[in-house]
Amino acid sequence: MELIFGDTVGHAGRKIAHVYLPITGYISIVRPIDGDQIEVALAGSEGMFGWSLALDSGVSEMRALVQGPGDALRLTSSAFKQQMALSTALRATIRGYTSVLMTQFAQTAGCNRFHVVEQRLARWLLMTADRAHSHTFRVTQEFLSSMLGVRRAGVTEAAGRLQARGYIRYRRGEINIRDRSSLEGAACSCYQINLATYARVLGRA
């Protein structure tokens, strides 16, 4: 199937109808809070949405929002549970991915509390580029402010500083990472911690 930018493919507090496994697109895992929302994880070709079915929970506690358009595999929740019952390898992989997600949730909570906006923005851009498989992708400052849980002015200032140093180029809603090595240096330690967790648990970054 095709993932369409801005579509919601999973709703917080509702039953999970389908499991999504992105191929070229990617999905923001978002937690609604007091009428607002904040991103707690990203799922690209390394991940999925619907993992809680593996924990015998048919209701999602998160919203799944398409951030990057592209292709994905989709199957019904019943078909997914049937395959889980049949495949030991699939069960082990999903358990591993669920463990990675729990670590990412906790890391994001700490990141939002202790790290400055510029560091968090650099981390987010790197994580998104990894899942887009490209140094160039589209995103608005309004969307960024919502995902990072900060005021739009704060995102504008942080992006402006990264652009002034030549790390990124932002124009008309399009981000281009021009100096990835320096951007990694500007990001908080959470980016490398997340990569290490994927490598340790799933054997890949």
The secondary structure of 126-194 as a DSSP string is: HHHHHHHTSSEEE--HHHHHHHHTS-HHHHHHHHHHHHHTTSEEEETTEEEES-HHHHHHHS-THHHHH
What pLDDT is recorded for position 15?
Answer: 95
Predicted pLDDT of residue 126? 97
Q: What one-character DSSP code corresponds to residue 205?
A: -
**pLDDT of amino acid 205:** 52
The per-residue pLDDT for 146 is: 85
Q: Cα dihedral sign for 182, 185, 191, 193?
A: positive
Fold held by 2-87+103-112: Jelly Rolls (2.60.120)
3-state secondary structure of 32: strand
Please say whether the beta carbons of 94 and 53 come within 8 A.
Answer: no
The CATH architecture of the domain made up of 116-187 is Orthogonal Bundle (1.10)
Instruction: Going from the first residue of the chain to its last (205 residues), give the mean pLDDT of each consecutive group of 10, the final group possibly shorter.
Output: 95 96 95 88 94 89 94 96 94 91 90 93 96 92 87 93 96 93 96 92 74
pLDDT at 204: 65
Q: Between β-strands 63-68 and 26-33, what pairing exists: parallel, antiparallel or unpaired? A: antiparallel
pTM of structure: 0.90
Paired with 193 in beta bridges are none
Spell out the domain ranges in the chain: 2-87+103-112, 116-187
Strands, sheet with 136-138, edge to edge from the N-terminal-most edge strand: 136-138, 174-177, 168-171
Alpha helices by DSSP H, 21-139: 77-86, 88-114, 117-132
